[in-house]
């Protein structure tokens, strides 16, 4: 199911706010279930199932943490609790990125009157990370050919050389990529003050509105329920 990108941005912000208020396990789990249902309807079924399995693992760790030594359990429990709180945002964030092209995101940001400076930064950043990931792979291949690849043996014997061979070319390439992407974005007219046109036509349907209203009410109801129960 396809959802309008403007509604996706709205739900992303709403889920972030609600997840912040629903910190405890019960209401946090309710928010996670709602987000799982939303991601499942949008089309990320396999990703949703993986997140559900991992979330169950986190809950089991919290339940059985009392059987772990106190020093270790306190540190690990804090990490697990932070991960559990971030799970709804991470799930919907991945769903958002996997189902929405960058060009559609940019068109949506222009449609909701976001400042151009932010849109340019956002567009460059969204195109930077996939390119940087590819460059990291190239740097690692080059290091392997030079005999200083990432292995426990090299990290133990020549840690300085390994990190120097990885960090230096990566920083140089990252700077070059950022400049190239910024220049490409400006060349394509992202900073043009004139009214912008786009090949992508955004169209809000009744189904989009209905789905967004339903999930907005569900998320807000979790916060209201937590507030009412907390007062009692």
* Cβ atoms of 4 and 204 closer than 8 Å: yes
Confidence of residue 232 (pLDDT cuts 50, 70, 90): very low
Cα–Cα distance measured from residue 34 to residue 92, given in angstroms and rounded to the nearest whole number: 10
Question: Which of 57-66, 131-140, 148-157, 179-188 shows the lowest mean pLDDT across its residues?
Answer: 148-157
Q: Of 42-51, 78-87, 104-113, 199-208, where does the model show the most confidence?
A: 42-51
Counting beta carbons within 10 angstroms of the beta carbon of residue 39, is it exposed (0 to 12), middle (13 to 18) or buried (19 or more)?
A: buried
28-40, pLDDT tens digit by residue? 889 999 999 999 9
Cβ count near 87 (within 10 Å): 22
Is pLDDT above 90 for 14?
yes
Is pLDDT above 80 for 147?
no
Mean pLDDT of the chain, nearest integer: 80
- Picking from 223, 202, 161, the residue whose alpha carbon sits closest to that of residue 34 is 223
Helix, strand and coil content of the chain, in percent to the nearest 5, comes to 80, 0, 20
Greater confidence, 228 or 185?
228
């Amino acid at each position: 199911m396809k959802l309008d990108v403007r509604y996706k941005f709205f739900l992303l912000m709403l889920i972030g706010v609600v997840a912040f208020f629903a910190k405890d396990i019960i209401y946090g789990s309710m928010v996670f279930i709602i987000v799982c249902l939303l991601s499942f309807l949008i089309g990320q079924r396999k990703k949703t199932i993986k997140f559900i399995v991992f979330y169950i693992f986190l809950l089991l760790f919290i339940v059985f943490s009392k059987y772990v030594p106190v020093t270790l359990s306190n540190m690990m429990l804090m990490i697990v609790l932070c991960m559990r709180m971030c799970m709804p945002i991470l799930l919907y964030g991945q769903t958002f990125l996997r189902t929405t092209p960058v060009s559609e995101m940019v068109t949506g940001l222009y449609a909701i009157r976001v400042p151009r400076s932010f849109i340019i930064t956002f567009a460059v950043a969204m195109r930077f990370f996939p390119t940087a990931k590819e460059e990291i792979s190239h740097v690692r291949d080059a290091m392997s050919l030079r005999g200083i690849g990432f292995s426990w043996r090299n990290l133990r014997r020549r840690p300085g050389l390994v990190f120097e061979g990885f960090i230096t070319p990566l920083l140089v390439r990252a700077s070059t990529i950022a400049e190239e992407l910024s220049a490409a974005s400006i060349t394509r007219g992202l900073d043009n003050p004139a009214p912008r046109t786009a090949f992508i036509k955004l169209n809000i349907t009744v189904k989009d509105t209905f789905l967004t209203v339903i999930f907005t009410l569900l998320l807000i109801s979790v916060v209201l329920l937590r507030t009412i129960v907390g007062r009692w």
